[in-house]
């Protein structure tokens, strides 16, 4: 475990974190239904094994958590890359979330910087992510870290009959 700040630390999540991660994720899916692709009820109906599969670490799949000093999960992000020869230079950031009471303390920045370091170590040359618009907090965060907009997907999500666009961004790492 590495100390990033006196108040929280970050480490890679493993299948042993599946129950805590599942609760944490479902809370965010319920609180911000338009910000995530997955639907809370559909995810809640899946067995714990599906969460364990999601967290199963490999060179191409790594989830990182932020924890408070009592060991409670307060932030998470996923980093994935493809194994195929033609796409192995591209990584994806997924499922970034920080518990509401812990926001604006640099946790998302620390989690993203960790994912960027991981991508660099793997020789990846660009990291992609997408976000539902509008999301001023995420837009500012990604602007600050240098993620540039490269596309807009109209009507990407429909939540309770309302349509939402998704913005696609990438960070070029120069590898
Ligand atoms: C977006 C989110 C992950 C940011 O997490 P965070 O830990 O609060 O972010 P940080 O503290 O690292 O913020 C870094 C910078 O991002 C910007 N930012 C973050 N939250 C913001 C907010 N609510 N309003 C405006 N700017 C914000 C600021 O520039 C901030 O720097 P500052 O605090 O020095 O001004 C968090 O708000 C969240 O979980 N939101 C709900 C889920 C979500 O939107 N996930 C992203 C899906 S793509």
DSSP codes of every residue in 59-118: TTEEEEEEEETT--EEEEEEEEE--STTTTTEEEEEEEEE-GGGTTSSHHHHHHHHHHHH
Q: What pLDDT, on a 0 to 100 scale, did the predictor assign at position 31?
A: 97
Q: Is this model's pTM higher than 0.85 or not?
A: yes
Q: Low-confidence residues of the chain, pLDDT below 50?
A: 1-5
* Contacts with 17 (C-beta within 8 Å, 6 or more apart), sequence order: 55, 65, 73
**Which residue has the CA at smallest separation from atom 19 of ligand 1?**
137
Q: What pLDDT, on a 0 to 100 scale, did the predictor assign at position 162?
A: 97
* Contacts with 109 (C-beta within 8 Å, 6 or more apart), sequence order: 141, 144, 145
Q: What pLDDT, on a 0 to 100 scale, did the predictor assign at position 70?
A: 96
Q: What pLDDT, on a 0 to 100 scale, did the predictor assign at position 169?
A: 98
Q: HSE-up of 78 (CA within 13 Å, CB side)?
A: 19
**Which residue has the CA at smallest separation from atom 10 of ligand 1?**
106
Cβ count near 155 (within 10 Å)? 9
Q: Which atom of ligand 1 is nearest to the CA of 98?
A: 39
* Contacts with 30 (C-beta within 8 Å, 6 or more apart), sequence order: 40
Indicate the fold that domain 2-172 takes in CATH. Aminopeptidase (3.40.630)
Q: Can you tell me the distance from the alpha carbon of 24 to that of 85, in angstroms, rounded to the nearest whole number?
A: 34
Distance 111 CA to ligand 1 centre (A): 12
Backbone angles phi, psi at 75, to 5 degrees: -165, 155
**Which residue has the CA at smallest separation from atom 32 of ligand 1?**
104
Q: What pLDDT, on a 0 to 100 scale, did the predictor assign at position 6?
A: 56
Q: What pLDDT, on a 0 to 100 scale, did the predictor assign at position 174?
A: 80
Q: What are the structural domain ranges in the chain? A: 2-172
Distance 162 CA to ligand 1 centre (A): 24
Q: What pLDDT, on a 0 to 100 scale, did the predictor assign at position 59?
A: 85
Closest by CA to 125, choosing from 170, 174, 82, is 174
Q: Which atom of ligand 1 is nearest to the CA of 36?
A: 47
Label the pairing between strands 126-132 and 90-98: parallel
């Amino acid at each position: 475990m590495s100390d990033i700040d006196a108040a929280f630390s970050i480490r890679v999540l493993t299948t042993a974190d599946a129950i805590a991660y599942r609760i944490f994720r479902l809370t965010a899916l319920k609180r911000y239904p338009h910000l995530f692709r997955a639907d809370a009820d559909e995810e809640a109906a899946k067995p714990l094994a599906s969460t364990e599969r999601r967290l199963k670490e490999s060179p191409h799949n790594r989830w990182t958590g932020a924890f408070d000093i009592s060991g409670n999960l307060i932030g998470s992000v996923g980093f994935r890359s493809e194994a195929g020869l033609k796409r192995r230079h591209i990584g994806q950031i997924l499922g970034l979330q920080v518990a509401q009471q812990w926001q604006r303390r640099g946790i998302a920045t620390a989690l993203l910087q960790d994912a960027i370091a991981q991508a660099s170590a793997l020789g990846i040359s660009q990291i992609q992510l997408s976000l539902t618009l509008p999301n001023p907090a995420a837009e500012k965060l990604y602007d600050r870290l240098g993620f540039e907009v490269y596309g807009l997907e109209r009507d990407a999500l429909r939540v309770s009959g309302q349509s939402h666009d998704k913005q696609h961004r990438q960070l070029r790492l120069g590898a």
